[in-house]
Structure 1
Amino acid sequence: MLISLEGAYDLHVHTHPCLFPRLCDDRAAVTAAAQAGLAGMMLKCHHESTVSRARELQREFDNFKVFGGIVLNEYVGGINPQAVEAALKMGAKEVWMPTIDADNHAKAHGSKGKYDVQEGGSTGDGSEIKGVNVLDSEGNINRQTKEVLKLVAEFDVILGTCHLSPDEIYKLVKAAKELGVKKILITHPFFKVPALSVSQLKELVAMGAKAEFGYCTVSPMWHYATVQEVTAALKEIGAENAIIISDAGQRHNPMPHESLRVFAQCLYECGMSKEELRLLMVDNPKALLNL
């Protein structure tokens, strides 16, 4: 059986403009996705809020939803409640914790601002590997992060854990739930950052989070996990507790909608049912977006 993308939402797409090389711009990604039958897409950028980009592009599409959010890298002031509040008031649907500027990312990749084979943005002079952290000197969630979590709860949007360390993610999820955050996505758990285990993921799901598995993790370039390993993890935690996304837009991957299709088809071939895939691509994303 050929898996259909009809009605699917891709909540993690990287497009141009960006300081990393990208396969396509916002319009090209959205146009292709709409033609492929998807119902919506979330634009993500490591260097700026995508809220205004999404809003302007939305005016061109009547039957396709375009969403934006903000990543809390140093380009927006790091863990910056003021930047978050502005983005949310302008329509952001997700607040992502730091990615390429996260302290954990810098330690895993040897520098901020780069991956194993690509650079995009400032990587520093290499003399100090230190990035953004959500913990204070005593190892607790810091004041700025708590302020951000309160805003995420107030606006009832998605919190993405991104490239934080497992310890930070545990503490973040706990604090987020205590402060009233209802929608938490554990960003690409099997990627090099954060590189969570299935048992860790099960604990986080039990705490109230959902897992976000992406094609990019299993792609030929990164291949941090196999499709079989993702399938096993989904069976372990339950499709009701996860979504799948492309995490695509890199020039070494197919177009985002095609990356999502290939990922979904591979999961089906490995044992995920059509009904489970609908949960992962349609129903669960819609619930996260309050649609």
Structure 2
Amino acid sequence: MASDTTQIAAPYSTETVDAILRGSIDLHCHSGPSVMPRYLDHIEAMQEASAAGLRAVLLKDHYYSATPVTELLNKHYSHLGVLMLSGVPLNNSVGGLNVHAVEHGLKLGARLVWMPTFSSANHIAHHKHDVHFNEKFPQTTQKMLESIPLTVLDDDGKLKEEVKAILDLIAAADVVLSAGHLHISEIWPLFEEARKRGVKRLLVNHPTYVVDASLDDMRQLAKEGVYMEHSMCMWVPGSKFRFYDPEFLGQVIEAGTVDLTILGSDLGQKGNPTIVDGFRSVIETALEIGYSEADVRKMTATNAATLMGL
């Protein structure tokens, strides 16, 4: 039996982590300007990613589409060697389930459409029923108007007509449909209709958090070819949103499969670890719990590239 002073070698070296980090893709970067407190802006996010060798970063703001910003960054900061991406978030600030916002965003170059996140009825219900919810999600720096709860289903449980029109635009542009913060019960009919209408790129963000997907739900999503992105901020030491342990990371990866799992930072909040530190930490954790370098590279780079058509 090893003595207390015996040092067990980590299953990786700094060089290994650096090598995996280079070429990684972050599909969940919360930089600013934002009504949420952020530690960096969009330009600084691109610079941080470039210094670490990331291949691409997708900027996410719950209140506006950062697509025009990414178009400018890709034109004027191309020397940094990072492809910047964004999408259209369908929250109250853009008119909710607004087909015109989607059409405009896609014309500008959006690569993804998020169903309602902060404005979803599901997110709002979680907020009302969890007295600690404010500690789990960053709050706006100033009080904002009461949200109008959004759902993709009508009173009869059928998909709303305006959602079908949005799905048609997503299919025609061949971009990604994210389920946002919809409840898993809403995601099934949404994705079923999306497939019927020709949407090929399906994503569920942090399926175990707010979305309330079980491991069995994730196994079914994987059978249907849906990508699942897990937020690094929920595993990184020092994160205000660290809710899960390494064992659970292994469980969600096994449920969603290595081939359909994406690890995105979901970082950028003031007071949290940096985006690159999040990547380093979760790469180390995945290696420690037994995943190979090739598997970790899939989950931090290859799968995201495939989903986004890079």
Tell me the amino acid that sits aligned with residue 219 of structure 2. K
Tell me what 1:282 maps to: 301
Tell me what 2:224 maps to: 207
Match of 1:265 among 275, 284, 290: 284
Match of 1:43 among 53, 59, 65: 59
Query: Which stretches in structure 2 are left out of the alignment for 5+ residues?
Result: 1-11
> Counterparts of 1:153 and 1:227 in 2: how far apart (Å)?
36
Match of 1:52 among 63, 68, 71: 68
> Counterparts of 1:195 and 1:270 in 2: how far apart (Å)?
24
SS of aligned partner of 1:243: strand
Match of 1:30 among 30, 46, 50: 46
| Offset at residue 224 of structure 1 (A) | 3.2
Tell me the amino acid that sits aligned with residue 201 of structure 1. M
Tell me the amino acid that sits aligned with residue 39 of structure 1. R
> Counterparts of 2:143 and 2:193 in 1: how far apart (Å)?
30
> Counterparts of 1:189 and 1:7 in 2: how far apart (Å)?
25
SS of aligned partner of 2:302: helix
Tell me what 2:26 maps to: 10
- Which structure 1 residue ranges, 4+ long, deviate > 4 Å from structure 2? 121-125
Tell me what 2:213 maps to: 196
Q: How many residues align?
A: 285
> Counterparts of 1:151 and 1:226 in 2: how far apart (Å)?
39
Whether 1:184 and 2:238 are equivalent positions in the alignment is: no
Tell me what 2:266 maps to: 247
Return the structure number with greater helix share. Answer: 2
Tell me what 2:256 maps to: 237
SS of aligned partner of 2:101: helix
> Counterparts of 2:128 and 2:22 in 1: how far apart (Å)?
41
1:221-265 deviation line (CA, Å, top 9, x unaligned): 223332321222212332111211001101132121221221121
| Offset at residue 195 of structure 1 (A) | 2.5
Match of 2:170 among 152, 168, 171: 152
> Counterparts of 1:261 and 1:133 in 2: how far apart (Å)?
36
Tell me the amino acid that sits aligned with residue 277 of structure 1. V
Q: What value does the CA root-mean-square deviation take over the aligned residues?
A: 1.8
State whether residues 190 and 217 of structure 1, in contact with CA within 8 Å, keep that contact through their aligned partners in structure 2: no
1:62-77 mapped onto 2 (5 Å cutoff): 62=79, 63-77=81-95
Tell me what 1:225 maps to: 244
1:95-137 deviation line (CA, Å, top 9, x unaligned): 01111111000000129xx952332276546xxx851111011
> Counterparts of 2:155 and 2:219 in 1: how far apart (Å)?
28
Tell me the amino acid that sits aligned with residue 5 of structure 1. L
Tell me what 1:85 maps to: 103
> Counterparts of 1:72 and 1:230 in 2: how far apart (Å)?
29
Query: Which stretches in structure 1 are left out of the alignment for 5+ residues?
Result: none
| Offset at residue 37 of structure 1 (A) | 0.9
Tell me the amino acid that sits aligned with residue 171 of structure 1. P
Tell me the amino acid that sits aligned with residue 210 of structure 1. Y
State whether residues 174 and 207 of structure 1, in contact with CA within 8 Å, keep that contact through their aligned partners in structure 2: no
Task: Compare CA radii of gyration and give the structure with the larger one.
Answer: 2
> Counterparts of 1:84 and 1:102 in 2: how far apart (Å)?
17
Length-normalised TM-score, structure 2: 0.87
Length-normalised TM-score, structure 1: 0.93
SS of aligned partner of 1:7: coil
Greater displacement, 266-275 / 10-19: 266-275
